[in-house]
Amino acid sequence: MIQNNSNDTPNLSPEIMLPELTEEDRRLAVSHDGKLWALDIMAPAKYGSFGWIKNMGLALQNVGENTLRCICVYDDEPAFLNLAMVNASIEAVGGNLEIGSFTILKEWIPDDIDNEMPNDETPAQVGMEVA
């Protein structure tokens, strides 16, 4: 179950609407591997741990009692889909996912855009000039 722990203060609580999962997405999320992943990340030994979930565009924190908190998610449809799948995996093993005023909605900027240069620009010479 998603617990939305937001208050009514404007600009603090992102309105994150998780998309409906397709049958295939739901099947994958509640698969044996999906459930094992959820149980592992919710393990009591990982209480307090947090971090980015690689290639999913979101960060979770284990806050104990079978509860994970989404502390950050990219403002991007694939990240919301991933979060919906994570929620389905967590629910499948009796856990809770919290989303609220503590959830940072981060702008997604692709790496390749940052590194691209316009075609009409020549990169500056780097290094020492030798005479």
User: Cα–Cα distance between 66 and 51 in angstroms, integer?
Assistant: 17
Give CA angle at 75 (72, 77), nearest 5°: 115
pLDDT confidence band for 129 (50 / 70 / 90):
low
pLDDT in tens, 47-59: 999 999 989 999 9
As for how many domains the chain has, the answer is 1
Has residue 131 been placed in a domain? no
pLDDT for 115 beyond 90: no
Q: Which of 63, 33, 69, 34 has its CA nearest to residue 46?
A: 63
pLDDT for 112 beyond 90: no
Has residue 59 been placed in a domain? yes
Has residue 15 been placed in a domain? no
Q: Are strands 58-64 and 50-53 parallel, antiparallel or unpaired?
A: antiparallel
pLDDT number for residue 49:
96
